[in-house]
């Protein structure tokens, strides 16, 4: 039985993914701690700091399946400490006195921080894989619907024609920037921690920096210039970047949600027979995937302040930030991955209702194209005078009904300045999408960070 939605049998896949739950599971967390201890023993055995035979035994026994996690948990409760019980458990399973040499010169936070970074690396790989899939889907939509005219909206109102390809290309370029952010962030975030009690490596008699360098080569992590026990800016950056990524997933989901409303009906998230919209209204075709993604994006956004708050750590060690990170980092990854994965499914099977897009271009009887009329008149009357004239005509049409074409044909200020053919051309929404297609081509031609 789960008390939180990420681990819920019923709701877990709405708020997380199986892959991310595995990465941040208890078993994976302990295994990552053991991975760090095993790598440390290997390096120190090779340098002659600890006996090579002891190092080999530690590496052989550094497997979570050899430990009793219930017993480990009981010891954590008794000692109020996460790593000492692990060291005692390892001493039991290691032959001879090998267990005496585990954790040589290290401190608890070294193991926890580096273990977390290994999990973060796995989590970022998963998120990046899904973000690339989302980017690919959205680029595909941009290319496919490059020239499909639709209403562009501002302030929630019809503004001017765009193309659906143009809208999707805006999403794609945002996602491409996120892939760049993930790539650039890795060198700052995927850095190991091995610094000793207060960061000076005093326990290793001058060999500490060499051990540190070899350890992180072994683990495939960056080597810190100096301890980051109380420098949590990389975790803060991680929190903010993932919140931004989830935010874009939420933004796209919200756009689909809005454009799926019955009166608009230009987009619809994938629908399959059996998907139920309401327990009492059988006709409903709701957007539950998009609604969940929006909720996830809002939840992830609330974690960014927690990550930033951890920057304010005290003195040379501060367990408060560790406890805080232990709580929010798994949630950050689980919910971000869930949001992106769901949008991969939505964009991969998105129903694009082009007939409704065409229909909605004309619901205001020409008012959508007031700008080209104003610009044409402005060439001879001046822009401000043209705006005043077209504004008055548009407001009359809006309030009294009719069409913009009829009103323009009847307006004394227009007669003799614009022919019917001129007006028809200006009020064709397909002829006023600007350079939308060229922008789509530019976006689709761009390459994301490798």
Give the residue numbers annotated as catalytic, written as ranges.
Answer: 155, 278
- At residue 141's C-alpha, the angle toward residues 139 and 144, to 5°, is 110
For the record, the structure tokens of 131 come out as 């973000």
Contacts with 387 (C-beta within 8 Å, 6 or more apart), sequence order: 374, 378
Report which of 347, 276, 340, 335 is spatially closest to residue 12, judged by C-alpha positions: 335
| Buried-exposed string 68-88: b where 16+ CB fall within 10 A, e elsewhere | eeeebeebbeeeeebbebbbe
Backbone angles phi, psi at 268, to 5 degrees: -150, 130
For the record, the structure tokens of 52 come out as 């090579």
Report which of 70, 124, 156 is spatially closest to residue 245, judged by C-alpha positions: 124
- Residue ranges in 145-232 assigned as alpha helix (H): 164-189, 208-219
What is the rounded CA–CA span in Å between residue 35 and residue 5? 29
What is the rounded CA–CA span in Å between residue 423 and residue 72? 79
CB 134 within 8 A of CB 344: yes
Helix (H) or strand (E) holding 17: none
Taking the CA atoms of residue 322, residue 79, residue 317 and residue 215 in that order, the dihedral angle to the nearest 10 degrees is -80
């Amino acid at each position: 039985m789960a008390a939180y939605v990420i681990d819920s049998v019923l709701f877990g896949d709405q708020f997380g993914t199986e892959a991310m739950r595995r990465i941040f599971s208890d078993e994976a967390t302990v295994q990552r701690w053991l991975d760090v201890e095993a790598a440390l023993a290997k390096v120190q055995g090779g340098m002659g700091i600890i006996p090579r035979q002891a190092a080999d035994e530690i590496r052989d026994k550094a497997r979570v399946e050899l430990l009793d996690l219930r017993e480990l948990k009981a010891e954590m409760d008794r000692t109020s400490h996460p790593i000492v019980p692990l060291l005692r458990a390892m001493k039991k399973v290691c032959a001879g006195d090998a267990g005496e040499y585990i954790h040589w010169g290290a401190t608890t936070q070294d193991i926890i921080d580096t273990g977390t970074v290994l999990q973060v690396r796995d989590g970022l790989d998963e998120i990046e894989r899904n973000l690339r899939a989302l980017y690919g889907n959205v680029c595909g939509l941009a290319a496919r619907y490059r020239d499909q005219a639709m209403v562009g909206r501002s302030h929630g109102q019809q503004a001017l024609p765009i193309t659906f390809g143009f809208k999707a290309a805006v999403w794609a370029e945002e996602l491409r920037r996120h892939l760049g952010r993930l790539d650039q962030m890795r060198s700052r975030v995927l850095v190991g921690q091995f610094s000793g009690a207060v960061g000076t490596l005093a326990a290793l008699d001058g060999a500490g920096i060499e051990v540190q360098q070899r350890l992180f080569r072994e683990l495939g992590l960056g080597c810190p210039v100096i301890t980051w026990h109380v420098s949590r800016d990389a975790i803060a950056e991680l929190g903010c970047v993932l919140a931004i990524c989830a935010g874009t997933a939420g933004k796209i989901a919200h756009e689909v949600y809005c454009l799926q409303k019955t009166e608009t009906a230009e987009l619809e998230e994938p629908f399959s027979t059996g998907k139920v919209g309401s327990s009492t209204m059988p006709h409903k075709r709701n957007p539950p995937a998009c609604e969940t993604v929006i909720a996830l994006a809002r939840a992830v956004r609330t974690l960014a302040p927690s990550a930033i708050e951890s920057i304010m750590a005290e003195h040379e060690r501060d367990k408060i930030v560790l406890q805080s990170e232990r709580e929010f980092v798994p949630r950050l990854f689980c919910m971000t991955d869930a949001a992106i994965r769901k949008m991969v499914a939505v964009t991969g099977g998105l129903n694009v209702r082009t007939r409704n897009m065409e229909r909605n271009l004309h619901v205001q009887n020409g008012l959508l194209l007031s700008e080209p009329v104003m610009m044409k008149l402005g060439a001879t009357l001046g822009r401000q005078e043209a705006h005043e004239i077209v504004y008055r005509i548009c407001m009359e049409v809006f309030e009294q009904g009719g069409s913009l074409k009829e009103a323009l044909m009847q307006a004394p200020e227009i007669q003799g300045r614009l022919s019917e053919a001129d007006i028809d051309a200006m009020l064709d929404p397909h002829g006023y999408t600007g350079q939308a297609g060229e922008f789509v081509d530019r976006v689709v031609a761009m390459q994301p960070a490798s």
